Amino acid sequence: MSRTSARQRVQAAERDLVAARLKLRNDLAPWKAALRRHRVAVTLLGGFGSGALAALIPLRRWIGVGAVGMRFAASVARAALKPAVAGAAVSGLRSVVGHRA
């Protein structure tokens, strides 16, 4: 495989990506405009809908949803970024405590 063919394929893929982004932006423009015009109604209907779901879904299902959420949170906590996040938090706390003293 030559460099020029790979470069040409990458450039063609980038052009396709830009064209897809423009098409998506044009396709979503009417929806965005409608949501901006009816922002309050969308907010109220979203709140009403989520409240209705909370009231109508049985407790057993909510327990299952909570279990899945907690399982996901536990897997994120065990992720490889945990030491980095913990180190950043500790250094942030030390700098805050150091400024107060």
Instruction: Give the pLDDT confidence of 11-70 residue by residue, as tens digits.
Output: 999 999 999 999 999 999 999 999 899 999 999 999 999 899 889 988 888 888 889 988
What is the three-state SS of the chain?
CCHHHHHHHHHHHHHHHHHHHHHHHHHHHHHHHHHHHCHHHHHHHHHHHHHHHHHHCCHHHHHHHHHHHHHHHHHHHCCCCHHHHHHHHHHHHHHHHHHHC
> Would you list the domain boundaries of the chain?
1-56, 58-101
- Kindly state the average pLDDT of the residues 60-88: 83
- Kindly state the average pLDDT of the residues 75-95: 78
